[in-house]
Structure formats: C-alpha cells, structure tokens
Structure 1
Amino acid sequence: MPTQRADARRNHARLLAVAEEEIAAHGAAASLEQIARTAGVGSATVRRHFPSRRALLEAVFRGRIETLCAHARELAGAADARAALLEWLRAVTAYGARTRGLVAVLDRCAPGDDGAPDACAARLAQAGAPLLRRAAQDGAVAPDVAVADLLTLITGIVLATEHHPDPAAEADRLLALAVAGISPRR
C-alpha cells in the first residue's frame, strides 16, 4: 500500500479520534455526517478512509479488541482452564457493557454494511478458542459449546443491560447465570 500523504494521515487520525467520541456518546449509530463535520472534513473523506460504518467501528475498537485478545493469550496457560475461560468471558462482557457501540462489531447476526466478515469478532473468537478448547477437554464446558455461541451470548447480555442503571454489574450478574448453564461447578 502506498504511503499516505501527511494530510491524509492527519485526517485519518482526526476521524478516528472524533469517531471514538461520537460513538461513546451515541453508540454504533453515530452520524457519519456529524463525525465528518466535527473532524472538519467532507463525508467523502470519511468514506475514503472507512468504506463502511463497520470498517469505522472496527478501526475505533481495534486496540481494545487486541487488549482482550492479549488477555486470552495470557490466560491460555492457566492451571484452571474453567477459571481462565470465565475470567476472559467476564472481561469481554465488562468491556462490552462499558463501551457503547462495541456490540455492533461483535454481533455475528448483524450483517456488515459492506458484506465483509467482522474482523473484531473473528479475532476475539480466535483468541478465545484455545481457552474454550482447554475447558472442554477438562470437562468444565459442554463439548458442543462454540466460541461464537459465547460471543453471541455476551452480545445479548450487553444489549439487554445497556439501559440498566449499572449495566456492568447487571451484565456480570447475567453472565454468572448463563455460566451456571454452560459450565456448572464440579
């Protein structure tokens, strides 16, 4: 890919910063036109840098998703596979409950507006797969549970709690209820 001009790099950085603020305030449906206006660029510039809303959302959340992936990698060697999986699921749920707009890039049922696969959900699924596999091998999780199922469960919990007075606490409580169903204590 050719090197971007300095003004294009500045526009990209400014668009990401403004988009992060707008998404935090308005969620995944934040106005692309408002993002362009606030960044001081035209809507065509937004589309040049981010060909779809999902591409913009993924760019905004990329660093945070990588942090969750790194956490999964850190937990992969833990002695208690069940505890490691549950710690990671709680971290993903807590982050989703605190971060408006994130579920839009985790929801595998929502089609991307550009038809492209969802890179954020795919990276999380890839990172969580070894944790789930180890927990299943240890008999701590039913063998037919898939990482995509767990991410869908988290998406549902986050969506169900987004208007709760304390979404993170309620999401954690609901995740605990769900975990009792997918991985009862031995």
Structure 2
Amino acid sequence: MRADAKKNYDHILAVAREVLIEEHGVDASMRDIARRADVGLATLLRHFPTREALFEALLCTNLDALTQKAAELETSSAPGEALVSWFHEWMAFARSYRGVVALMATAHTNPDSALYASCAAVHSASARLLARAQAEGTARADMTGDDLFGLMAALGWLIDLPSFAPRVGHLSRLVTSAILKNPSRNDAKTAT
C-alpha cells in the first residue's frame, strides 16, 4: 500500500472507531464517516466496501484476543470455570462495541460477510469450551454450540439497551446458572 493510501486507511479507521464505537454504534452512516474523515465516499468504499468490512478491520485485534482467551481457558481452567469465564469475557467484549452483537449474529450464517471468519472463530471457541464442560459433566448435555452462541448473542443484544445494561452481571449469572449443572461453585468464582 502506498504511503498516502496507508495514511488515509489509518485515518479512516481512527475516525470510524470514534464514530462507530464511541458515538453511534454500527448504524452510523458510511457517508458520515467519510465526511468526518475528510475523504470522499469513494475513497472510504475503496478501502472498506461494506460496513461489515469496516467493522472487521476495527474489531480484528479484539476478536483475535477474545478467541486467544478461549484457547487459554481451554488449558488453564477447570472446564466449568472456563466456560463461565468465557461467557464473562464475551459480555465484556459486547459491552465495548455497541451494536456489534446484532451484526455478528447476522454475519454468523453468511459466508460472504466480512465478519464471517471472526464470528466462526468465536462460535467454534464457544462450542469447544461447552463440549469440554459437558465432557466433565459440569454443563448441560442437551446444549449445542449454536445454543450457547445464541444465548451469548441474546444477552449481548440486551446489554445494548440502556434499561438492561446495569443488570448485565445478574443476567450473566442467570444464564450461566441455566447452562451449568452446579452453577454456584463455578459462577461464584467468576461473577462480575
């Protein structure tokens, strides 16, 4: 990438982070982002042809860190505790990016989405942690990775709503208690 193109790319990402993450969430207008970055819409779209591509660029580092955390939990914690910790890590991520959960839930089943690979990695990490807890006997046997991803997405969507945001810790404990067979032992250690 040429130096001027790289400079534009970095500047657009900085402005987009401010607009998308700190102000308006995923519903921010691409035209508004281009205007605030002082570039033409065509320049923005050349770098990021879709809103999802822009979000993927913004979220890549954080999603990689999230899936890395899952890998660490798979080897460092008891399976039930790892699953609860993962759930809380996911909720912290969802709180950081207003509107991202709905975007990820849509991208989860769309291989053409720029967010598909990241969503698949999060889904896969969730399924592995759940399977590990099920094998140990600490998680319900009648759940699938899709069920867990759905519960995480639903709770993540709820915390985007101002009336539910203050209750995220309580709601997380309720959901994890429905997933685990002996939630009091596991959840008490990682409650937020």
- Report which of the two has the higher share of helix: 2
Q: How far apart are the structure 2 equivalents of 1:143 and 1:184?
A: 9
Residue in 2 that maps onto 1:19? 16
- The Cα of 1:96 is off from its aligned counterpart by 0.5
For structure 1, which runs of at least 5 residues remain unmatched after alignment? none
Where does 1:38-49 land on structure 2 (aligned, <5 Å)? 38-49=36-47
CA shift digits 1:32-51 (9 cap, x unpaired): 11111111211111111111
Aligned 8 A contact 2:99 2:160 in 1: no
CA shift digits 1:122-155 (9 cap, x unpaired): 1212233332221110111223423332222122
Residues 11/159 of structure 1: CA separation in 2 closer, same or farther (3 Å cut):
same
User: Alignment partner of 1:100: what SS?
Assistant: coil
Superposition RMSD in Å: 2.2
Residue in 1 that maps onto 2:186? none
Q: How far apart are the structure 1 equivalents of 2:43 and 2:102?
A: 23
- Which of the numbers 130, 147, 150 marks the counterpart of 1:152? 150
How many percent of aligned residue pairs carry the same amino acid?
34
User: Alignment partner of 2:72: what SS?
Assistant: helix
Q: How far apart are the structure 1 equivalents of 2:114 and 2:18?
A: 25
Q: How far apart are the structure 2 equivalents of 1:104 and 1:16?
A: 21
Q: How far apart are the structure 2 equivalents of 1:105 and 1:9?
A: 26
Residues 63/105 of structure 1: CA separation in 2 closer, same or farther (3 Å cut):
farther
- Which of the numbers 160, 177, 181 marks the counterpart of 1:162? 160
Where does 1:83-98 land on structure 2 (aligned, <5 Å)? 83-98=81-96
Residues 44/109 of structure 1: CA separation in 2 closer, same or farther (3 Å cut):
closer
Where does 1:1-186 land on structure 2 (aligned, <5 Å)? 4-24=1-21, 25-108=23-106, 115=113, 118-164=116-162, 167=165, 169-185=166-182
Q: How far apart are the structure 2 equivalents of 1:170 and 1:144?
A: 27
For structure 2, which runs of at least 5 residues remain unmatched after alignment? 184-192
Q: How far apart are the structure 2 equivalents of 1:110 and 1:124?
A: 9
Aligned 8 A contact 1:94 1:172 in 2: no
Aligned 8 A contact 2:53 2:115 in 1: no
Tell me the number of residue pairs that the alignment of Structure 1 and Structure 2 aligns: 181
Q: How far apart are the structure 2 equivalents of 1:138 and 1:110?
A: 28
Q: How far apart are the structure 1 equivalents of 2:7 and 2:44?
A: 12
